[in-house]
A = this chain, B = another copy of it.
Amino acid sequence: MSRVGRNIHVSVDRLRQLAHRDARPRKIKADAGTCPKCDSHYSADEMSRNLRVCPACGHHFAVTARERLEQLGEPGGYVELWPELRAADPLQFTDLKPYAERIADAEKSTGMGEAIVCAELEVRHVPAVAAIMDFSFMGGSMGAVVGEKFARACDHAAQKGLPLIVLSSSGGARMQEGTLALMQMAKTVIALDALAEARVPVVVVLAHPTTGGVWASFASLGDVTYAEPGALIAFSGPRVIEETTREVLPSDFGRAERQLANGQVDAVVDRRELAQRIGRILHILSRPDVDPTAGTAPAGLQWAQGGAQKVKSMMDRIRPGSTDGEDAG
């Protein structure tokens, strides 16, 4: 391996330092509020206040799509789009349990209609469309509804000229919809191009896990790609790889930090900084409010009017034989 190559930039290391200040391991019976990494325990209220990140060790717990919207947007300030769409059962599929039953169960246990929530919202005062996956709904798997809602979100954002924020958390295509689920990969990739034509950016946030057909479709096509710490990002999961190739994988295989070194993501961003980071990049990429040619030059400079002759005239000022004009500005 060359000296060039796989240097690592974890952009939010300083949050690791914060961790120790607020640390307080409390050993009690493990439940949903227990950190699987350091055994700290939190009340539901504490968890929510910490954006479901363990302040002691930085472990990122799973977050539902609606919680994500609250974390990213202004308080209470989002409009959900197409919540009414529901999965069909085109294959009349049954594995250990009929698909129809699985869907009904998921709807009951999560209170969601599907594994993705789309919404219009503002992130740090920047209006955007968000498409947010929810792992708690059948492993965030992508069937026809996820594909359709994602595609509609692309169209909607393009029509309104708004950037798209994608948050992925998925085991891949929804197998219970068979070949038709596979086709959602094509559908979502094609839909993304509406944003390219509208010249608005796509920010993708890869949450744990982003695997299979979701990583191999829209989730790997962001203009800017952030990943949450520790998120598994892979097309084939570690178990499949180990079984197929008999490789022994490192414990951090496919994890966000490693995928950063592999050149697959732009930054690993702690959830507590996520909204701020998304807001910042969207602000940077936004078009200027004022036409840059129409008089925003700093005081003391007279280059606000005129056009193609400017650099030439600037060049003239330092050209051999030309002595005038150097003090004009």
Q: In chain B, what residue has the closest Cβ to A3?
A: B245
Contacts of A245 in B (CB 8 A): 2-3
Contact with B along A238-262 (1 / 0, CB 8 A): 0000000100000000000000000
Contacts of A2 in B (CB 8 A): 245
Contact with B along A1-14 (1 / 0, CB 8 A): 01100000000000
Expressed in whole angstroms, the Cα–Cα distance for A88 and B3 within the complex equals 40
- In A1-32, the 8 Å CB interface with B consists of 2-3
Shortest CB-to-CB span from A268 to chain B, Å, is 25
Q: In chain B, what residue has the closest Cβ to A2?
A: B245
Shortest CB-to-CB span from A250 to chain B, Å, is 15
Top 2 A-B pairs ranked by shortest CB distance? A3-B245, A2-B245
Expressed in whole angstroms, the Cα–Cα distance for A3 and B245 within the complex equals 9
Expressed in whole angstroms, the Cα–Cα distance for A245 and B245 within the complex equals 35
Expressed in whole angstroms, the Cα–Cα distance for A3 and B246 within the complex equals 12
Expressed in whole angstroms, the Cα–Cα distance for A311 and B2 within the complex equals 53
- In A117-176, the 8 Å CB interface with B consists of none
Contacts of A3 in B (CB 8 A): 245
Expressed in whole angstroms, the Cα–Cα distance for A245 and B2 within the complex equals 9
Expressed in whole angstroms, the Cα–Cα distance for A100 and B255 within the complex equals 60
Expressed in whole angstroms, the Cα–Cα distance for A3 and B2 within the complex equals 21
Expressed in whole angstroms, the Cα–Cα distance for A8 and B18 within the complex equals 52
Expressed in whole angstroms, the Cα–Cα distance for A2 and B245 within the complex equals 9
2 inter-chain pairs at a CB distance below 8 angstroms, sorted by A residue, are A2-B245, A3-B245
Expressed in whole angstroms, the Cα–Cα distance for A2 and B249 within the complex equals 13
Shortest CB-to-CB span from A247 to chain B, Å, is 9
Expressed in whole angstroms, the Cα–Cα distance for A2 and B244 within the complex equals 12
Shortest CB-to-CB span from A240 to chain B, Å, is 15
Expressed in whole angstroms, the Cα–Cα distance for A2 and B246 within the complex equals 12
